[in-house]
């Protein structure tokens, strides 16, 4: 099961670590009542998502073949609508 689980890649670890640091920075500055520092933490948090996405596109994320496939149920044939004219 360990081979099929997601998130164990350099892209995931780096992105989550940066997001966690940004969250901590924003939380600390929120307690200190410093709006500029809070928004700087929010920028760091968003930057973590961008860094993770860039690293994944560079091939440091989970391979496409290993990603879980979502099966979409096929729509059953719907009967033709019956007209109300009689």
Residue at 65 is within a domain: no
pTM for this structure?
Answer: 0.67
Specify if 29 maps to a domain.
yes
Comparing CA positions, the residue from 5, 3, 8, 14 lying closest to residue 53 is 14
User: What pLDDT is stored for residue 35 in this prediction?
Assistant: 95
The residue segments making up the domain with residue 37 are 10-59
Identify the pLDDT of residue 59: 86
Q: Pick from 18, 14, 4, 11: which is nearest to 69 by CA?
A: 4
What domain count does the chain have?
1
Mean pLDDT, consecutive 10-residue stretches, the chain (86 aa), reads 66 93 97 96 96 90 68 63 68
Helix (H, G, I), strand (E, B) or coil at 68: coil
Report if residue 68 sits inside a domain.
no
Residues 24, 16: contact at Cβ < 8 Å? no
């Amino acid at each position: 099961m360990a081979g099929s689980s997601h998130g164990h890649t350099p892209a995931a670890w780096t992105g989550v670590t940066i997001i966690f640091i940004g969250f901590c920075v924003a939380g600390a500055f929120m307690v200190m009542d410093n709006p500029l520092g809070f928004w700087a933490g929010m920028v760091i948090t968003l930057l973590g998502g961008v860094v993770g996405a860039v690293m994944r596109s560079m091939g440091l994320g989970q391979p496409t073949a290993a990603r879980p496939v979502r099966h979409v149920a096929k729509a059953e044939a719907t009967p033709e609508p019956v007209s109300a004219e009689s």
